[in-house]
Amino acid sequence: MDLEVRERLLALVRESAEKVVQEIDAKGLERLDAVQVVPTKSADHGDFATNAAMVLGKALGCSPREIAERIQRALLDPEGIVAKMEIAGPGFLNFFLARSHWDDLLSRILREGVSFGCSEAGSGRRVMVEFVSANPTGPLTIGHGRNAVLGDSIARLLEATGHEVKREYYFNDGGRQMRVLAQSLRARYEQELGIDSRLPEDGYQGEYLIRVAEQLSAEQERGWLEADEDQFKKRAESAMFADIDRTLKDLGIHFDEYYNEQSLYAEGRVEEALADLKAKGLVYERDGAVWLRSSELGLDRDRVLVKSTEEPTYLLPDIAYHRESLRRGFDTIIDVLGPDHIEQFPYVRAAIQALGGAAERIEVVIYQWVNLRQAGEIVKMSTRKASFITIDKLLDEVGPDVFRYFMIERRGDTHIDFDVELARERSERNPVYKIQYAHARLCSLIRMGESRGITLPAPEEIAWDRLESPTELELAKVLERFPELVTHASEAREPQEVARYLLDLATTFHSYISDGKRHRVLSDDRGLSVARLGLVSAIRTTLANGLKLLGIAAPERM
């Protein structure tokens, strides 16, 4: 529902409730903050309902129904927002909005166009969204794909609500996994030259590395036989990042910065973080390793910061990275992480807090794994053994729009079974097809109107009162939910709300248009045709705006 109307109605309710309280017992004033106005779940109960009588009844020693009747008599509505009030059940007060409200809404959508749903709720706030952040050891898998789509959709929602957003990709090009990658490339390169060379233990077996080796041997022939490990590491990293970048572009995702973990070492940030933790007495040595006294910070156990091999664990550079991110002046830092990070993140936050950092400004969005379902069976995957499905492969099969929607239609903290057969379907069973087909159908109706010489006048000049059917009012009510939904999805970091909303709107439209006799958009009645084309244009605008928030195309023809 329209947030502005809801707030105005709440103000009217609280004002009238305050009068009632003053008449009975002023002590009840402290309960006014608990009074709410919420959208109803059924059109039979109006558009909004308030719990005012239920909240105040006990405090005032009166029955809720009596309080509801008194609030109803006391409520003044100078703007004419409410057409009718009804008392329901034990004392709920239901409100039916005036017809003029719905007319104003449709006019507003046509006026605002691409801005409908946007707000300045986050104006002046700088937010960094750190997502994907896969190390350059291979192509992006479907698990990375969920991270990518979730992070990008959150960033789009934040931008739509007025935030200044920076997208960041944080990666590590050092450590054991990169050494194993370099050794794997050397082995593949030597194999290309006919040398009997074996992959290292836990080496990367993917076809993608063989392609890099083929190109390397074609360019250098035997010239890299004496090359050191660092050269192979840099060559593999460059090739992997080129592949990752290409995949992200195919998904319509860009980053403002690629932040390399190694820069934290080069700039002394990791060493600084360790020294500052030591100075606060939060570090000790045991069995040759350096430990964080995290149990003293309210956590269940201590954690290793530096192994006995003198190699830092992931925890130490993560602490340094988040500390440095806060120093860059972001009001909020949002990390999009897989379930394997659930256990570590509290330690990062606790260490930042102990070092005097504003740890409350660091948020984490955890998503669950994605299962790929083909022919009714779950596909087992392993990155090291290269038995995984890449984003590229799925994009070739289903396209970026379907991929993005399937990755975002559920809450991040729930598992996804990506059904490839359903994703390929071009039917109403496929939610993406259903939504995009609704948009294309709306565009077709607008084109048909133009071909008949019917163009929309200024929104205020449209005879909206010609829209009289219950389904047309239902569509208007669905449209009104959009701005508040966008704001809530942005604040909650839950873009799946937009995905579900679009499916609901598309379903309601398809139901409306399928009743051709009752809801014929273009007819000999020009005034009715203009009003219905106005409704069609408002639905099309809202669908397009919602699809853009999810990074999904809004086709005009299908």
Token couple for 291? 């430990």
Report, as an integer, the average pLDDT of 236-262: 96
The answer to whether residue 3 scores a pLDDT higher than 70 is no
Question: pLDDT value at position 58?
Answer: 85
Question: pLDDT value at position 363?
Answer: 97
Question: pLDDT value at position 407?
Answer: 97
**In this predicted model, what pLDDT tens digit does every residue of 500-527 receive, in sequence order?**
999 999 999 999 999 877 899 999 999 9
Residue 162: half-sphere exposure toward Cβ, Cα within 13 Å: 11
Taking the C-alpha atoms of residue 478 and residue 283, their distance in angstroms, rounded to an integer, is: 56
**Secondary structure class of 388 (helix, strand, coil):** coil
Beta strand pairing call for 164-171 and 303-306: unpaired
**Secondary structure class of 26 (helix, strand, coil):** helix
Question: pLDDT value at position 382?
Answer: 55
Q: Which CATH superfamily is domain 3-97 in?
A: Arginyl tRNA synthetase N-terminal domain (3.30.1360.70)
Q: Which of 276, 312, 282 is nearest to 296 (CA)?
A: 282
Beta strand pairing call for 303-306 and 289-292: antiparallel
Q: Which CATH class is domain 427-549?
A: mainly alpha
**In this predicted model, what pLDDT tens digit does every residue of 49-91 receive, in sequence order?**
999 999 999 889 899 999 999 999 999 988 888 999 999 988 9
Q: What is the DSSP letter of 390?
A: B
- Residue 385 pLDDT level (bands cut at 50, 70, 90): low
Neighbouring C-beta atoms of residue 462, cutoff 10 Å: 23
Partner residues linked to 169 by β-bridges: 258
Token couple for 370? 């994605």
**In this predicted model, what pLDDT tens digit does every residue of 186-209 receive, in sequence order?**
999 999 999 999 999 889 988 899
Q: Which CATH class is domain 131-254+368-424?
A: alpha beta
User: 119-133, 291-305, 357-371, 512-526: which range is least confident on average?
Assistant: 512-526
Question: pLDDT value at position 388?
Answer: 67
Q: Which of 517, 521, 499 is nearest to 442 (CA)?
A: 521
Taking the C-alpha atoms of residue 315 and residue 317, their distance in angstroms, rounded to an integer, is: 6
Taking CA atoms, 25 is separated from 18, 21, 51, in Å, by 10, 6, 19
Termini Cα distance of the chain: 31
- Residue 376 pLDDT level (bands cut at 50, 70, 90): confident
Taking CA atoms, 144 is separated from 118, 369, 389, 464, in Å, by 29, 9, 11, 47
Question: pLDDT value at position 517?
Answer: 76
**Secondary structure class of 61 (helix, strand, coil):** coil
Domain boundaries, the chain: 3-97, 131-254+368-424, 267-355, 427-549
**550 class by beta-carbon count within 10 Å (0-12 exposed, 13-18 middle, 19+ buried):** buried
Report whether 33 contacts 513 (CB < 8 A): no
Question: pLDDT value at position 391?
Answer: 94
Which residues are CB-neighbours of 431 under 8 A, at least 6 positions away? 405, 409, 499, 503
**In this predicted model, what pLDDT tens digit does every residue of 388-434 receive, in sequence order?**
688 999 999 999 999 999 999 999 999 999 999 999 999 999 999 99
Q: What is the DSSP letter of 136?
A: S
User: What's the CA angle centered on 397, arms 392 and 403, to 5 degrees?
Assistant: 70
The CA dihedral of 119, 120, 125, 129, to the nearest 10 degrees, is 10
The answer to whether residue 10 scores a pLDDT higher than 90 is yes
Average pLDDT, the chain: 93
